[in-house]
C-alpha cells in the first residue's frame, strides 16, 4: 500500500480529485490529506472520493495551516454550512479514514471520536515524534490503529508492533528552482521494493512536494518540472526539467515552455519503456499546443503522474 502524504493546498487537492474522478488510483493507494484550510475544494475532493468508493485519509488535528482555528471559529454562515454539513457528512463515510497526528491535543481528539462511536482500530495514526510517543502507547495500548505511520528509526520500529507504514520525505528540496539544473536526475526511493521485507504494510512520502511547509508562495525565477520514473531495476528516480532563462521573474510561460521542451525530448528517448500517465500526457499536450497552464497546475500534473505511476506499479506486482 502507498500512502502519499499531501498538505491540503488547492492544487494538491485538485490532483487527487482528478485522479479519483478518472478512477486512476486503484485499491493500493490511500492518499493522506493534512488540511491547511477549510475550503470548498477540500469538501469537494472528499465528496469525489466517497462517490467513487475510493479511500482517503484526513488528518483531523493538522500541525500546519489554519484548518484547526477555522474549525473552532467559523464566523460566517456559508463556511459554517460547509463544515457542519458537507465536511461533517464526508467524515461519516467508511471511505474517509479519520486520522490523527500524535501531539498534545491527540487524547482529546481520541475521546471525541470515541464518543462518536469511531473505533480506535479504524483510525490512522501519524506517530513520528519521540516527544509524543507516550501518548501513542497510552491511547493504543490495547488496540492498534488501522495504519500507523512511523519514521525509519529503530525506536519506532521496535515499539510499534502492528500495521506499520514507513514514512519518509524522499524529495530533496533545493533553495531555488534553478539549483535543480545541477542535479537534474537523482535517486528518489526504493521503499516500494522492500517495505514488506522490512515488516511494513505500506510506505508513505510527500511526493514531489516534500515535507517542508510554507504559508506563502513566491514567483520563482526558474520553472522546474519534477517527474518521478522507474528505472530498469524498478527503483524510483526523479528527473528535474528546468528552464534556462532564469535571470529574472518575467515571462513564466516562456520559462515553462523551455522546461516542458526538455521533458518532451527526454521522453522521446525512452518511449518504449516509459509508463504514460494522465498527468504526463497533459504535459505532452502543453508542449504540442505551446500552452501554459500556470505554476499550480505544473505541480498538480507532477503529483498526478507520480501517484498514477505508483498505482500502475502496485497493480502489476
At 64, is the pLDDT very low, low, confident or very high (cuts 50, 70, 90)?
A: confident
Q: Which among 57, 62, 72 has a CA at the least distance from the CA of 36?
A: 62
pLDDT in tens, 97-111: 999 999 999 999 999
Residue 97 to residues 5, 9, 50, 164, 225: CA-CA distances in angstroms?
13, 19, 11, 16, 31
Confidence of residue 38 (pLDDT cuts 50, 70, 90): confident
Beta-strand (E) ranges in the chain?
2-7, 32-34, 56-59, 96-101, 124-126, 147-150, 164-167, 185-189, 202-205, 224-230, 236-242
Mean per-residue pLDDT of the chain = 94
40/87 Cα distance (integer angstroms):
9
What pLDDT score does 66 carry?
77
pLDDT of residue 74: 60
Residue 178 confidence (pLDDT) above 90: yes
* Among the listed residues 29, 28, 31, the one whose alpha carbon sits nearest the alpha carbon of residue 6: 31
pLDDT reported for residue 211: 94
The pLDDT value recorded for residue 71 is 61
Over 90: is that where the pLDDT of 310 sits?
Answer: yes
Distance from C-alpha of 181 to C-alpha of 254, rounded to nearest angstrom? 17
**Cβ–Cβ < 8 Å for 309, 275:** yes
Amino acid at each position: 500500500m502507498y500512502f502519499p502524504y499531501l498538505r491540503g493546498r488547492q492544487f494538491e487537492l485538485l490532483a487527487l480529485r482528478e485522479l479519483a474522478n478518472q478512477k486512476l488510483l486503484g485499491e493500493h493507494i490511500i492518499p493522506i490529506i493534512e488540511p491547511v484550510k477549510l475550503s470548498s475544494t477540500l469538501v469537494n475532493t472528499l465528496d469525489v472520493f466517497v462517490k467513487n468508493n475510493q479511500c482517503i485519509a484526513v488528518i483531523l488535528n493538522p500541525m500546519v495551516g489554519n484548518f484547526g482555528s477555522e474549525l473552532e471559529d467559523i464566523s460566517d454562515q456559508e463556511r459554517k454550512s460547509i463544515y457542519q454539513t458537507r465536511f461533517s457528512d464526508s467524515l461519516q463515510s467508511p471511505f474517509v479514514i479519520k486520522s490523527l497526528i500524535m501531539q498534545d491535543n491527540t487524547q482529546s481528539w481520541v475521546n471525541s471520536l470515541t464518543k462518536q462511536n469511531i473505533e480506535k482500530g479504524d483510525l490512522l495514526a501519524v506517530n513520528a515524534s519521540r516527544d509524543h510517543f507516550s501518548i501513542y502507547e497510552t491511547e493504543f495500548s490495547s488496540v492498534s490503529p488501522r495504519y500507523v505511520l512511523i519514521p525509519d528509526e529503530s525506536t519506532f520500529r521496535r515499539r510499534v508492533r502492528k500495521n506499520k507504514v514507513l514514512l519518509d520525505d524522499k524529495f530533496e528540496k533545493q533553495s531555488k528552482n534553478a539549483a535543480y539544473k545541477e542535479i537534474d536526475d537523482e535517486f528518489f526511493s526504493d521503499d516500494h521494493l522492500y517495505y514488506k521485507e522490512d515488516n511494513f504494510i505500506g510506505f508513505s512520502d510527500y511526493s514531489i512536494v516534500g515535507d517542508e511547509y510554507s504559508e506563502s508562495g513566491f514567483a520563482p525565477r526558474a520553472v522546474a518540472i519534477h517527474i518521478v520514473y522507474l528505472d530498469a531495476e524498478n527503483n524510483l528516480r526523479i528527473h528535474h526539467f528546468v528552464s534556462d532563462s532564469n535571470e529574472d521573474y518575467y515571462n513564466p510561460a516562456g520559462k515553462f515552455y523551455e522546461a516542458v521542451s526538455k521533458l518532451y525530448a527526454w521522453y522521446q528517448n525512452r518511449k518504449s519503456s516509459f509508463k504514460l500517465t494522465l498527468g504526463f500526457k497533459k504535459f505532452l499536450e502543453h508542449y504540442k499546443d505551446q500552452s501554459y497552464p500556470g505554476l499550480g497546475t505544473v505541480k498538480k500534473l507532477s503529483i498526478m503522474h507520480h501517484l498514477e505511476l505508483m498505482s500502475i506499479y502496485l497493480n502489476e506486482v
